[in-house]
Structure 1
C-alpha cells in the first residue's frame, strides 16, 4: 500500500515513459485496507492511548504473570505501537509507581506491565527503562529509589547500565532491601551483575534460614555453599529440623559434592545435631530422589565418612536411620 501510494503521490514514470496508473481493482483494495487498518481504528498515540493503557493495567483482571501480561498487551494499543507510545508507557509506570498521587502508586500490576512491555518491545522499551532507572536513583525520596534499585537488580541488562553515581545507592539497598523484598532473591539476581557481584557474595554470608527458603530454583553455587555451611552448623534438634524444612530439602539437588562432603563430615564428627532430627532423614530421602549417578556419589560420600551401609536409592529413610544409629 505504501509503495503504491508513493508512486501515485510522486509520479513515477515506467520504462515506457508513461506515468504509473494503478488498476481500479488495486485502488478499491487500497481503499478497503485504509479503512480496515487505519481510518476505522481508534487513536493509538498520545494522552488518550496512555489513559486507556493505564485503565487496562489497573483492571482487576490484568494478569499477574509476565507471559500472560505480554499476551494481554498484544491485544491493546501496544501491539503495533510506535516508539513514542512505547516510551510513554514506560515513563508512565516508572514515574507513576513511586508517585503517591498516581493511580499506579505501588501497584504490583504496574510492575508486571513494565516487565511485559520490555519483553514485547525490547528494542524501544529497554533503553528507555535504563534511562529512567538512572533518573530514579538520583531522587532523594524513598519510593523512586526503591523502584530504581529493584529494577536495576531484577534486570541484569538494566543493572549493568547503572551510572557510577547510582551504584553506591544500589549497593546500600542490596544490604538492606525493603521489607517487601525477598532478600535472598535480591542477592541471587545481583550475582549476575558484574560490578555488583562482590557485594552480592558478601551479602550471601548474612542470609538467614528464612532467607534461603525464599529461593527454590536456579540456586547459585555460592548460595548453595553458604546454605550447606548453615545446615551443617545446626546445634539443636529444633535448628536441624528448621533448616531442613526451610531450605536444605529444597536445595538437595543443588548442593555440589563439596557441599555434601561438608555436611556429612560435620555429621560424622558429631559437631551438629542433624542425626537426631527427622529433617535429616527427609534430606537424605530428597538426595535419593535424584538420578542414579548422583545417588552413587552421595552413597560414596556417606561411606567415606563412616556412614557406610546406606543404599539411599532404595529405601532412603530406613537406611538413613540404620546409618546414623
Structure 2
C-alpha cells in the first residue's frame, strides 16, 4: 500500500468512535513530532480501545462471544488484575478473528504486525548490536493507515453469532409474521450488520432448514424461514450468487425422503427449477406423479401446485384428500388451491357440530386471505345447508371471518342480499344481527325483505 500521500488528518475523520479518535490523535501528533515509537504505541492503544467499544455494541445486540470477553475484561479492570488485562489485550486480535469475527483473517495478519512492532517500541528490546528499535516513518504511517482502514473506520459487524441470535429470535413472539415485515426486519436486524461471508453462510443455513429439516426446532417455522431467505435474495444481492449455487448443490444431492421439501422449496423459489440437474428434475416429477393420497404425510408437497410442471398431478392429489387430510394440509399451509375443496366440504356438512368444526378447521385458517368472491362463496355455503346456517356457532364464526377481511375484499352486495333474504325467510335475523350490522358498516343497505316462511 502506498501511504506516502495519505493525509493523516483526513484519516482521523473516518474513525467511528469519538474516544478512539482521541487516542488515535495522540498517535498522529507523535508521528508528526517524529516520536515514531510513541506513535505506534498510541496506535495500538486506540486499536484495542476501539475493539472493546465494538464488543460493547455487539454485546448489546446479543452477541454471546462479545459478552463473554467483556465480562472477563470488566472483571479484571474492576479488580485491578493487571496480569489478566495484559493477557486479554494480547489475545484480543485472536478473539476478534475466531469468536466475534469483528476482524477477518487477512486484517489480523496486518494487525499482528502492528502489535509486534508496538512491543518492540514499548519494551526495552534491543537488537544484537544493542540498538534501540527505531521504526521508519513509512512503516509507522502504514500501521496508522491499517489501523483505521481495518478496524477504527469499520462498523461492528456480527460474525457467526448471527446464527445463535436468529435461532432464538425466530422462535420468539417478537419475530414478525407478515411477509413484507419479515423482509424489512431480517434486512435491518441481520443483513445490515453482518459480514458478507456470514451472510452467505446464513443463507445456506436457512436453505438447509427448508430442504433437510435442520435444525429441528425450525421445522414448524417454515413460513418465517422462507421470507428470511427471500430477504437475502432481494436485500443482499451481493451474497445471493454464492448462496444460490450452494442451494443447487443441496437440492441435487438430497435424499429421497427430502424430495417433498424440495418440491415446496421450488414452489417458493421457482427460478431454481431450470438450474437443477436433469435426474433431479425427473426424481421430483416422479415423486409427485406417484404420490398416493392415502400415504401422504408431508403436506408441504402440495405447495408445488403453483409450479406448472407439478400442477396437474397435485390438483388430482388435492381432490383425493380426505376431510382430515384437508384439515392437516391447511394447518401446514392454507394454499389457495385448497379453497375449492374447502368450500365443497363445508357446503356438505352433515351435522351442526360437524359444520362448526368444518368452519373452524377449514375456513377460519384462510382469514385475512380471502377475496370478495371467496367470501361470497362462504355466505352462499352458509345459507345453502341447514346444518350450516342453523348451527349454534355459525354466526360468531362468520362474524370473525368477515371482520378479518380488508374493506375492498368484503362480500359483494348480491351475495349479501342473498344471505339476508335467506335468514329473513328462515326467521334467523336476530341470530345474525351482529353479522348484518357489520355488513351494513360500509354502506350496504338491507334490501326489501321477501316473505318469510312459517317454522
Would the alpha carbon gap of residues 295 and 230 (structure 1) be closer, same or farther in structure 2, given more than 3 Å must change? same
- Correspondence for 2:139: none
CA distance in 2, matches of 1:213, 1:96: 19
Which residue of the other structure, out of 189, 197, 214, is the alignment partner of 1:72? 189
CA distance in 1, matches of 2:362, 2:264: 24
Q: In the alignment, is residue 56 of structure 1 matched against residue 171 of structure 2?
A: no
What is the SS of the residue equivalent to 2:411? helix
CA distance in 2, matches of 1:154, 1:250: 20
CA distance in 2, matches of 1:250, 1:282: 15
Q: Which has the larger radius of gyration?
A: 2
Q: Is the 8 A contact 1:156 1:193 kept in 2?
A: yes
CA distance in 1, matches of 2:279, 2:269: 19
Q: In the alignment, is residue 204 of structure 1 matched against residue 318 of structure 2?
A: yes
Q: Give the CA deviation at 1:158.
A: 3.6
- Correspondence for 1:108: 218
Q: Give the CA deviation at 1:33.
A: 3.7
- Correspondence for 1:225: 340
Q: Give the CA deviation at 1:138.
A: 3.1
Q: Is the 8 A contact 1:137 1:169 kept in 2?
A: no
Q: Give the CA deviation at 1:44.
A: 3.6
CA distance in 1, matches of 2:212, 2:304: 26
1:182-239 CA-partner distances (Å, limit 9, x unpaired): x3x663x4344333333443343225134335546xx62x332221111011112332
Which residue of the other structure, out of 231, 237, 256, is the alignment partner of 2:374? 256
1:32-86 CA-partner distances (Å, limit 9, x unpaired): 64898xx87843469x9xxx844431348642144444333236442xx2xx665
Q: Give the CA deviation at 1:144.
A: 5.9
Would the alpha carbon gap of residues 99 and 266 (structure 1) be closer, same or farther in structure 2, given more than 3 Å must change? closer
- Correspondence for 1:299: 416
Which residue of the other structure, out of 361, 385, 395, is the alignment partner of 1:246? 361
Q: In the alignment, is residue 166 of structure 1 matched against residue 280 of structure 2?
A: yes
- Correspondence for 1:118: 233
Which residue of the other structure, out of 27, 43, 54, is the alignment partner of 2:103? 43
Would the alpha carbon gap of residues 303 and 173 (structure 1) be closer, same or farther in structure 2, given more than 3 Å must change? same
Would the alpha carbon gap of residues 249 and 55 (structure 1) be closer, same or farther in structure 2, given more than 3 Å must change? closer
Structure with greater helix share of residues: 2
Would the alpha carbon gap of residues 61 and 35 (structure 1) be closer, same or farther in structure 2, given more than 3 Å must change? same
Q: Give the CA deviation at 1:242.
A: 0.8
Would the alpha carbon gap of residues 256 and 57 (structure 1) be closer, same or farther in structure 2, given more than 3 Å must change? same
Q: Is the 8 A contact 1:133 1:152 kept in 2?
A: no
TM-score by length of 1: 0.60
Q: Give the CA deviation at 1:93.
A: 5.9
1:68-123 CA-partner distances (Å, limit 9, x unpaired): 44333236442xx2xx66545544665699889xxx64452998465553344135
Q: Give the CA deviation at 1:178.
A: 8.8
Q: Is the 8 A contact 1:160 1:194 kept in 2?
A: no
1:246-285 CA-partner distances (Å, limit 9, x unpaired): 1324547445377347625742xx6xx3244224333443
CA distance in 2, matches of 1:63, 1:262: 42
CA distance in 2, matches of 1:258, 1:75: 44
1:111-151 CA-partner distances (Å, limit 9, x unpaired): 846555334413531x4444333322333535765654443
Kindly report which structure 2 residues correspond to 1:171-186, keeping only aligned pairs within 5 A, or say none. 171=285, 172=287, 183=299
CA distance in 2, matches of 1:168, 1:114: 26
Would the alpha carbon gap of residues 164 and 87 (structure 1) be closer, same or farther in structure 2, given more than 3 Å must change? same
CA distance in 1, matches of 2:361, 2:432: 23
Matched positions, count = 280
Q: Is the 8 A contact 2:266 2:272 kept in 1?
A: yes
Where does structure 2 lack aligned partners over 5 or more consecutive residues? 18-46, 52-101, 109-157, 176-181, 438-445, 447-451
RMSD: 5.0
TM-score by length of 2: 0.46
Would the alpha carbon gap of residues 191 and 53 (structure 1) be closer, same or farther in structure 2, given more than 3 Å must change? farther
Q: Is the 8 A contact 2:382 2:388 kept in 1?
A: no
